[in-house]
Amino acid sequence: MGAVVQGKSMTNDALQTLIEDATADFALGDSALAVEKLSRATATAPHSFEAWHALAEVNFSLRHYDAALEAAECAHRINPADLFINTTLSRIWMEKGNKPKAEQFGAQAKILGWKDQLANPDAHRDAVS
């Protein structure tokens, strides 16, 4: 199953490559290209949690908090039980000055972390909580 935009299909592998390329671009300092690629990924595959989450993180790093929040909320709608998107939302709301919202998402992330520890105790055996 692939993503479709303007009659053109993108395979899941091509989508993943686009997200990885954008992440590399950002790591190498080309923020504008990273945002452009991730915006293309989310337009092509609006149900891609990974694309929305990456776009949220890049915008957060650029201090574009409104854009980060919009992308993070899209990712959260797709997968509200993801520990990392809840953490991302907590960080964004803290930067935007809404401590109650930040604490709400931070608490959710903590609960999801505990659930993961209970479900996968071997993976967390040497971890510090």
Q: Given a cut of 70, is residue 129 above it in pLDDT?
A: no
Which has more pLDDT, 25 or 112? Answer: 25
- pTM for this structure? 0.81
Mean pLDDT value across the chain: 90
Closest CA to 89 of 43, 34, 79, 117: 79
Q: Given a cut of 80, is residue 112 above it in pLDDT?
A: yes
Please report the domains of the chain, with CATH numbers, ordered by start residue: 3-124 (1.25.40.10)
Enclosing H/E stretch for 60: helix 49-61
Q: How confident is the model at residue 7 (pLDDT cuts 50, 70, 90)?
A: very low
* Each residue's pLDDT tens digit, 33-44: 999 999 999 999
Helix (H, G, I), strand (E, B) or coil at 4: strand
